[in-house]
């Protein structure tokens, strides 16, 4: 039996009583990941220091950049803290950021730059349209003050994937720094960080690697980060100081979420068992295909065109029926231990269903059966 099948059998057999989370995170995690947290380990313990080192290395491997001049910097706090750490630490006082926006997470980066008093421009595409390299090229030609470009890989608002490689080649070709928010895609969609010319990629513990919340991380091109001394706008979120601290003695500058880090180490071992990022991508794709086929059969319509949709999370339009009330629909699924997610699209009423976390096509079929039942009950 290949390891991924063994892992599946173990995962389904040891489910526990928790609700299944069809969301963008926190996610359903394996029992082994949860159990790893049942111990207290000091943050200066040799074992903990070794685990942190291994996590940093395994993340480089997951991004295809081990031994290629990149480092992993783990930062306490959720994904937003990681993003704020990068924006606040790597852009010089006279730098200018261009944010490519086609959803709520792109807009949040613009808001973050404003709070940090970083000079910022945005390039806005509709929420159902991937960013276009030609538009980015034009924006850069029009504004030579721009030094850094930031984009979201999987815009979790809709589930759309942006063409990060094409845009990365353009940004790097002009000698600019490239920042990618890969929060909901890293570990679940194969991404070659070097080929995409990414200088800073940010993700967090409770997404596709299937750990629990508690920290974020940035995979950084060493040469780029080395040039940022003195730029940090925060003490605790200083990205370069955090890396130098980890390198000096393997320890964090401030208390790390030890239990979450232990869980993450186990989650990375399970990622390897599943066949690495490629294996996990295949499972998410199976989940996604099962979901969309089943939802269509029940009469639901996706917000995005299929060719634009990534396998991470799908936005579905509210059915056109006076009997459909999202609150009721959500609550009825929740009563059956199934948790879906509200929508975030600004120009259409939608809800979202995620395919990530320790869920299998069997789970998706289980969700579809309950959706069918609830649909009949509500009469929409």
* Of residues 208 and 232, the one with the C-beta less far from ligand PLP: 208
* Of residues 111 and 331, the one with the C-beta less far from ligand PLP: 111
Interface with ligand PLP (CB under 6 A), residue total 12
Of residues 18-77, which lie at the interface with ligand PLP (CB under 6 A)? Answer: 24-25
DSSP per residue, 116-176: TT-EEEEEE--TTS---HHHHHHHHHH-TT--EEEEESEETTTTEE--HHHHHHHHHHTT-
Applying CB under 6 A, which of residues 22, 48, 105, 264 lies at the interface with ligand PLP? Answer: 105
Applying CB under 6 A, which of residues 29, 78, 158, 290 lies at the interface with ligand PLP? Answer: 78
Applying CB under 6 A, which of residues 181, 270, 274, 363 lies at the interface with ligand PLP? Answer: 181
Least distance (Å) between residue 327 CB and ligand PLP: 22
Short-list 175, 158, 33, 171, CA closest to 99: 171
Instruction: Give the strand pairing for 96-101 and 148-152.
Output: parallel
Applying CB under 6 A, which of residues 177, 204, 260, 287 lies at the interface with ligand PLP? Answer: 204
* Of residues 80 and 289, the one with the C-beta less far from ligand PLP: 80
Give 306's DSSP letter: G
**Using the rule CB under 6 A, is 79 a contact of ligand PLP?**
yes
Structure-block tokens of residue 323: 């009997």
List, in sequence order, every residue forming a beta bridge with 247; answer none if it has no partner: none
Q: Which stretch binds ligand PLP (CB under 6 A): 92-100, 113-121, 136-144, 178-186?
A: 178-186
CA distance 231 to 261: 28
Least distance (Å) between residue 205 CB and ligand PLP: 9
CA distance 345 to 127: 7
Applying CB under 6 A, which of residues 72, 102, 162, 184 lies at the interface with ligand PLP? Answer: 184
CA distance 85 to 72: 13
**Using the rule CB under 6 A, is 315 a contact of ligand PLP?**
no
Of residues 126-155, which lie at the interface with ligand PLP (CB under 6 A)? Answer: 152
Provide the strand spans (E) within the chain: 20-21, 70-76, 96-101, 119-124, 148-152, 154-155, 160-161, 177-181, 200-204, 215-221, 313-317, 338-339, 341-342, 350-354
Q: Which stretch binds ligand PLP (CB under 6 A): 121-129, 160-168, 177-185, 225-233?
A: 177-185
Least distance (Å) between residue 332 CB and ligand PLP: 25
Applying CB under 6 A, which of residues 89, 156, 228, 314 lies at the interface with ligand PLP? Answer: 156
**Using the rule CB under 6 A, is 80 a contact of ligand PLP?**
yes
List, in sequence order, every residue forming a beta bridge with 150; answer none if it has no partner: 99, 179
* Of residues 152 and 374, the one with the C-beta less far from ligand PLP: 152
List, in sequence order, every residue forming a beta bridge with 317; answer none if it has no partner: 350
Collapsing DSSP to helix, strand or coil, 334 comes out as helix
Which residues of the chain form contacts with ligand PLP (CB under 6 A)? Answer: 24-25, 78-80, 105, 152, 156, 181, 183-184, 204
């Amino acid at each position: 039996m290949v390891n991924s099948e063994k892992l599946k059998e173990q995962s389904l057999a040891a489910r526990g009583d928790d609700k299944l989370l069809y969301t963008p995170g926190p996610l359903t995690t394996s029992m082994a990941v949860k159990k790893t947290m049942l111990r207290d380990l000091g943050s200066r313990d040799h074992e903990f220091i070794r685990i942190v080192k291994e996590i940093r290395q395994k993340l480089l491997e997951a991004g295809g950049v081990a031994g290629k001049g990149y480092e992993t910097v783990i930062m306490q706090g959720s994904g937003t803290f990681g993003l704020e750490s990068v924006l606040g630490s790597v852009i010089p006082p006279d730098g200018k950021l261009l944010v490519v926006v086609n959803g709520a997470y792109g807009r949040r980066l613009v808001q973050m730059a404003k709070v940090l008093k970083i000079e910022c421009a945005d390039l806005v595409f509709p929420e159902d349209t991937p960013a276009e390299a030609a538009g980015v090229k034009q924006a850069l030609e029009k504004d030579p003050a721009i030094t850094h470009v930031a984009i979201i890989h999987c815009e979790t608002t809709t589930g759309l994937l942006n063409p990060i490689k094409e845009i990365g080649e353009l940004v790097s070709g002009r000698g600019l720094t490239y920042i990618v928010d890969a929060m909901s895609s890293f570990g679940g969609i194969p991404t070659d960080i070097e080929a995409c010319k990414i200088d800073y990629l940010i993700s967090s513990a409770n997404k596709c690697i299937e750990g629990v919340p508690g920290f974020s991380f940035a995979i950084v091109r060493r040469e780029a980060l080395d040039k940022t001394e003195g730029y940090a706008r925060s003490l605790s979120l200083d990205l370069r100081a955090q890396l130098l601290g980890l390198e000096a003695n393997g320890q964090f500058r401030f208390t790390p979420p030890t239990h979450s880090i232990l869980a993450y180490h186990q989650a990375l071992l399970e990622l390897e068992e599943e066949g690495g990022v490629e294996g996990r991508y295949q499972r998410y794709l199976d989940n996604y295909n099962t979901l969309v086929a089943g939802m269509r059969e029940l009469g639901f319509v996706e917000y995005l065109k299929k060719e634009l949709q990534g396998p991470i999370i799908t936005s579905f339009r509210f059915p056109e029926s006076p009997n459909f009330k999202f609150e009721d629909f959500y609550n009825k699924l929740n009563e059956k231990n199934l948790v879906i997610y509200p929508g975030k699209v600004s120009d259409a009423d939608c809800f979202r269903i995620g395919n990530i976390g320790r869920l299998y096509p069997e789970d998706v079929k289980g969700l579809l059966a309950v959706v069918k039942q609830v649909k009949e009950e509500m009469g929409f």
